Amino acid sequence: MKIVMVSRIDDEKALEYTRDLGDALLQDENQVCFEPATARALGVDAAWTWDSQSDLVVVVGGDGTILHSVQKMEKQVPVLGINWGEVGFLADLEPGEARAFIKSLRPGFAIEPRMRISLAREGVVLGQALNEALIVTNRPAKMLRFVVVVDGIPAERFRADGLLISTPTGSTAYAMSAGGPIVDPRIEGFLLVPLAPYMLSSRPHLISNERSVEVRLESAKPASLVIDGQKSIELGMEGSIVVTRAARPALFVDAKKNFFRKVDHKLRRL
């Protein structure tokens, strides 16, 4: 297999582990290369770019490193996450498991697609998110006014510090911290979670991805859209964001880790 190695570049031990794992996988008769930032950090030639073909992307890091990798890929390649972070809901393997598991993979190995959301304004796609998009005020301690329109009907009006538009995959990330439910990632829908709403009656909504969903911003304060914590876009004070299911899901190697067992295990670490 052609394997691409990605590492946290702010952690020397993670980089050392990534180099050693790459060497081991090379001995197992794989083609191994490093993505450009990792290659630079390791002082090796970057013979691969994010546009190059590969069979597997192995990411050593936390959820942020995995999200960054997914954002970088125009054409999605199966990702295998090795946890080198705090909790790592997107990383299925611990460092000691990785080499043996990868060695066991055969062509046509099982993958698990994860729905992403696409966000557009006035017909222009602003970006795609695997975890969530956050609409938040640029001015701390100021609230924003939102209207959520479902199938052309205003379904919810509220004021809040911000709004999370999450995927089921992202339900165990920021959305969970904001009081949203844990959602089975096999369910495909949009999870909307208000941040510190003015009225307690403003509750999270899980909406089918088959519905038309639009978020209107009607506020006297400027706001920003933050996508997967990786990309920030100024929205101004008014506007409309159309939320749809992205055409290309993220792809994860099926490591045979039960989602609910994994959540139970990782939450006990917090």
Torsion sign over Cα 21, 24, 28, 29: positive
Say whether pLDDT at 110 is over 70. yes
| Chain CA centroid to CA 23, Å | 28
Q: What is the rounded CA–CA span in Å between residue 149 and residue 100?
A: 49
Domain total in the chain: 2
Residues annotated as part of the active site: 63
| 136 and 189 housed in the same domain | yes
Residues 40 and 136 in one domain: no
Give how far Cα 21 sits from Cα of 9, 31, 69, 100, 266, Å: 15, 13, 18, 11, 24
pLDDT band at 270; cut points 50, 70, 90 = low
- For residue 60, the 8-state DSSP code is E
Same domain for 216 and 174 = yes
Answer whether residue 242 shows pLDDT above 90: yes
pTM of the model: 0.92
The CA-CA-CA angle for residues 261, 111, 16, to 5°, reads: 80
Could you read off the pLDDT of 216-236 as tens digits, one per residue? 999 888 999 999 999 999 998
207 with 105, same domain: the answer is no
Taken as a whole, the chain contains a residue count of: 270
CB 153 within 8 A of CB 142: no
Tens-digit pLDDT profile for residues 153-195: 999 999 999 999 999 999 999 999 999 999 999 999 999 999 9
**Distance in angstroms (rounded) separating the CA atoms of residues 192 and 213:** 10
- Residues 54, 31 within the same domain: yes
134 & 153 share domain? yes
Average pLDDT over all residues of the chain = 93
CATH of the domain at 21: 3.40.50.10330
Give yes or no for a contact between 92 and 105, defined as CB atoms under 8 angstroms apart.
no
Q: Are 80 and 182 part of one and the same domain?
A: no
Range(s) of the domain holding residue 34: 2-114+249-267
Q: Mark out the alpha helices in 126-179 (DSSP H runs).
A: 174-177
Nearest Cα neighbor of 4 from 40, 39, 43 is: 39
Cβ 115 vs Cβ 122: under 8 Å: no
- Confirm if 165 and 243 have CB atoms less than 8 A apart: yes
CA dihedral 131, 135, 137, 138 (to 10 degrees): 70
Q: Residue 229 class from Cβ within 10 Å (0-12 exposed, 13-18 middle, 19+ buried)?
A: middle
Residues 94 and 121 placed together within one structural domain of the fold: no
Residues 14 and 89 both lie in one domain: yes
